[in-house]
Amino acid sequence: MLNILGKPSAKQDAIGKPYGHQLKVSVTAAPRAGRATDHMVRFLAAEFGVAASDIEVVFGRMNVNKQLRIKSPKRLPAVIAQREGV
């Protein structure tokens, strides 16, 4: 499980520093009808080396606070790898 603090309408798609138990993720998509969450899932799928269908939004589809389940990630983004000591 991955806890996310989302930031829609950002200048660029990016994974930021951890914020408590959440990972800050900024996306360029606007927060309308779940589009920012869909965009975030596609962005994170590329970062973790999985298909977008391998990421499940457990809760928070229409909220900045989200919880995602990622099936069998192929790699970890640098900010997570550093935190985990990988």
Give the DSSP per-residue string, 40-54: HHHHHHHHHTS-GGG
Task: For residue range 30-55, list pLDDT tens digits in order.
Answer: 999 999 999 999 999 999 999 999 99
What local confidence, expressed as pLDDT, does residue 83 receive?
62
Tell which residue, 74, 54, 55, 53, has the closest CA to residue 66: 55
Q: Which domain holds residue 65?
A: 2-84
Angle formed at CA 10 by CA 6 and CA 13, multiple of 5 degrees: 75
Domain total of the chain: 1
CATH number, domain with residue 41: 3.30.1200.10
Q: What is the pTM of this model?
A: 0.90
Is the pLDDT at 84 greater than 80? The verdict is no
